[in-house]
Chains A and B, each alone.
Chain A
Amino acid sequence: MLGWEFPPFISGGLGTACYGLTKGMDQLGIKVTFVLPTMVESKYTTHVKLLSPSSHQGSVTSFEFNPLKNITFRTIHSPLQPYSSPDVYQQRIEESLRQKQKMHDGNVNATSEFIGGIDYHGDMYGEVHRYAAVVTELAATEQFDVIHAHDWMTYPAGIAVAAMSGKPLIVHVHSTEFDRSGEHVNQMIYDIERKGMHTADKVIAVSYFTRNIIISRYGVSGEKVEVVYNGVERNGGWSLDKTGISKDEKIVLFLGRITMQKGPEYFLAAAKKVLEVVDNVKFVMAGSGDMMHRAIEMAAGLGIGHKVLFTGFLRGEDVQKIYKMADLYVMPSVSEPFGIAPLEALDNDVPVIISKQSGVSEVLMHALKVDFWDVDEIANKIIAVLKYPPLQVTLRNHGNFEIRKLRWRDSAQKCMRIYEEALVAV
């Protein structure tokens, strides 16, 4: 499994999905070697067991995570991270170089292998290929039957390992370049995605919405593309008792990266319309992203700056807290391959409005659905939820019940079936 992120370092849906799916596989007793890139090491030390300290291509760390008995983790030291773009990557590299410089100045004996010039490549595409080389080397020492790669940055690694080992390759598409960038696609990323999908023996899409894009925009044959919906990890128990937050204002929540893909401007335009009718409501935008500044300016420009709060990026307990405060969750995404966050909102008893341009709208019945551009309708539905408690109650009760059917274990089961098909075909 060539995946991403691991708790507690989860920055979005991709990490959540990799973790959930792997956990589901663990329950089914499937043996998984989970390979992921990471920059952070020090905080892991408590439950990390070093197996093979380094290789000549780059450093590889290995550890086991106690609750998951069938999973072995291999982390590869690399600055790759999900939701990156070449520009962001460049900034990260420069920053880390500066930090290392400082360490050198202060303490000449600092752990020198951490700095070893082989642990990163100057540009993102180079790094993706360097990563592939390290993974290939690592794979030579591992036993496995199939290769399962998540999202484009791991596709070259997947292709290389498949070529070397002769094992079937399955690529799992959690989002495409068209979701992230609209029509302004990055040609190099598109090419890598396309090559991954065409080389793969099977392509797993997170929804029919995404399957359509894979078939129509990447020219992949339909019979090769299967849909496996994401699940949701239920936190149950401790979210039941309400905190003593007393508030006289309703809270409407936007939670996600503030980027073009997530439709923050539609959220704000709807907020403006809502505030023309209802007064005692606040809009919270939780998350960060490249449109954050524009969103803040837009809120101010609409004259609703005092009603819109920006929290920045939230994680862990803070996410739980914000859900507990929220009366309604709105996801006006322009193009959302799946969208795990609405499921988490329902798990926390928050009713949801989701855009029809999302994969999750295929699986959720007990949610209000809108076209992302239909700002009037979004506002109409927000007002209805705030105004009519029975609507909120019914959505919440049925929705919370409905997500119990979406289990990672079932997703893992489906992947297993796809593995078997791929193995037969080879």
Chain B
Amino acid sequence: MASVCFYFQVHQPLRLRHYTVFDKSDRYFDDYTNASICRKVANKCYLPANRLLLEIIRRFEGRFRIAYSITGVLLEQLQKYSPEVMSTFDALAETGCVEFLAETYYHSLSFLYSRDEFIEQVSKHRETIWSLFGQKPRIFRNTELIYNNDLARLIESMGEFDAIMAEGADHILGFRSPNFIYRPKGCSKLKLLLKNYSLSDDIAFRFSNRGWSEWPLTADKFARWVSDVNGNGYVVNLFMDYETFGEHQWKDTGIFDFMRHLPEQILKHPDNDFKTPSEIVQCYEPVDTIDVPHLISWADTERDVSAWLGNAMQSNAIHELYRLEKKVKKASNKKIIADWRRLQVSDHFYYMCTKYFADGDVHKYFNPYNSPYDSYINFMNVLDNLHNRCSGRTNRATFRDLLRNKSEPDLQIAN
């Protein structure tokens, strides 16, 4: 039996505007850029991909099943800038073949710095998914699949989750295969789903690479690889960014056609099927315990957290940010708390990464800044202003703002 489990990560960062030390305004985000990128990605990826998957789900009448994890910061942006995407997600939720996962609302690294904040953000995300799609997520995935034993124990102790996801990194698996269900060390009930990075990356990264020996990747070839798992595993976990469709792999690479034909090819083999993560968890029992004392993630070849916390600027920026937690919460001003949380979006720290900077690779493509130094300077200037606001050293503009707009809800729930 080989169950294919598709899970798509759907996220867009909140980009900061150019903010110098001389700025006094409490508007930190570049609304124009965020709106235009959100609309661009919606047109290139979210809308066509949602329509395609909806069509496939209807065609296979329940036999094709998928899962999404959509961050709160993206949901907010979609509601504001591209509401038609929300309605297609809603239609997907209605089919009953789509599962929504839980994560931190702000796509943050809060697990590493503040457990209280982490739990608040997970709850906020769960409630948002409940109110938008009518599902209470039972599966947790942390930002960028950052994971270790402590995280698994914390998630189990929250009592709301059946399973957690992580990268099927070679160094934690050893001789074992990611195609089974495992138990995190120190947990008694929680199950662990591991990403099959080889097959996932064949689609997400290598699909259009003409230098790759397997290019061009066709649906039947990929289905053969999946079928090869039969007899040596239960599941094939294909976890990837949703932007793979149409954004990382452009439409003219044939990625949409590949996806259109894939379910049919996979279901040709009688032992194959599609399952959502929750169904996997119900069907299969863990075969072994996995011990992950150190942090892992799904990023870069290192599969660690160095893309966000690898240099002195990154660790300084994030420490300063979480050092503000008490002050921010004491100020009990909704706008300040929301701004502070939006500064936690992990991408802010990713932009400060100096790894591979000189080579100008994938990191650059997603980066609105010319250099990691510019991004650090900008972030610290904003943080400094936020700090002053919590200390009550508000400037006039902020004060006027407060009078005019006492509390700005984070997300207007549409119903």
Interface residues of A (CB under 8 A from B): 273, 277, 365-366, 368-369, 376-377, 379-381, 383-384, 387-388, 390-391, 393-395, 398, 402
Contact = CB atoms under 8 A, between A and B. Distances in A.
Interface in B283-324: 311-313, 315-317
Contacts of B22: 273, 277, 376, 379-380
B373 A380 contact: no
B377 A380 contact: yes
B354 interface: yes
B370 interface: yes
Given A368-B371, A380-B21, A391-B313, 4 more contacts: A384-B376, A388-B376, A391-B373, A394-B376
Contacts of A383: 21
Contacts of A376: 20, 22
Contacts of A381: 377
B414 interface: no
A387 B317 CA distance: 13
Contacts of A390: 311-313, 315-317, 376
A387 B377 CA distance: 10
A361 B21 CA distance: 24
A393 B373 CA distance: 11
Given A368-B373, A368-B374, A380-B377, A394 B21 contact: no
A295 B376 CA distance: 32
Contact of B20 (A380, A391, A402): A380
Interface in B2-59: 20-22
B359 to A, nearest CB: 10
Nearest to A368: B373
Contact of A277 (B21, B354, B357, B374): B21
A273 B22 CA distance: 9
Contacts of B403: none
B358 A391 contact: no
A394 B20 contact: no
A22 B376 CA distance: 40
A201 to B, nearest CB: 34
Contacts of B358: 365-366, 402
A394 B377 contact: no
A256 to B, nearest CB: 22
A381 B22 CA distance: 11
Contacts of B371: 365, 368-369
Given A365-B358, A366-B354, A390-B312, A395 B373 contact: yes
Contacts of A377: 20
B313 A394 contact: yes
Contacts of B315: 390
B380 interface: yes
A383 B313 CA distance: 15
Contacts, number: 63
Contacts of B370: 369
A402 B357 CA distance: 11
B142 interface: no
A394 B381 contact: no
A135 to B, nearest CB: 42
B354 A398 contact: yes
A381 B373 CA distance: 9
B371 to A, nearest CB: 7
Contacts of B381: 380, 384
23 contacts: A277-B21, A277-B22, A365-B357, A366-B357, A368-B371, A369-B371, A376-B20, A377-B20, A379-B21, A380-B377, A384-B21, A384-B376, A384-B377, A384-B380, A384-B381, A388-B313, A388-B376, A390-B312, A390-B313, A390-B317, A393-B312, A394-B312, A398-B354
Interface in B334-383: 354, 357-358, 370-371, 373-374, 376-377, 380-381
B395 to A, nearest CB: 15
B247 to A, nearest CB: 26
A369 B381 CA distance: 17
Contacts of A384: 21, 376-377, 380-381
A31 B354 CA distance: 41
Interface in B138-169: none
A211 to B, nearest CB: 21
A377 B371 CA distance: 14
A337 B42 CA distance: 44
A358 to B, nearest CB: 15
A393 B376 CA distance: 13
A257 B370 CA distance: 29
A343 to B, nearest CB: 15
A391 B354 contact: no
A33 B152 CA distance: 72
A380 B377 CA distance: 8
A374 to B, nearest CB: 10
A370 to B, nearest CB: 10
Nearest to A377: B20
A365 B371 CA distance: 8
A393 B380 CA distance: 15
Nearest to A393: B312
A384 B371 CA distance: 14
A394 B316 CA distance: 11
A204 to B, nearest CB: 24
Most-contacted residue by chain B among A376, A388, A393, A402 (CB, 10 A) = A388
Nearest to B384: A387
A390 B377 CA distance: 11
A393 B311 CA distance: 10
A31 B381 CA distance: 55
Most-contacted residue by chain B among A368, A381, A394, A398 (CB, 10 A) = A394
Most-contacted residue by chain A among B311, B313, B357 (CB, 10 A) = B313
A390 B313 CA distance: 5
A93 B317 CA distance: 59
Contacts of A368: 371, 373-374, 377
A170 to B, nearest CB: 30
Nearest to B359: A365
Shortest beta-carbon contacts, A-B, top 5: A390-B316, A390-B312, A380-B20, A384-B377, A390-B313
A379 to B, nearest CB: 8
A377 B374 CA distance: 10
Nearest to A382: B21
A383 B315 CA distance: 20
Contacts of B376: 384, 388, 390-391, 394
B352 to A, nearest CB: 9
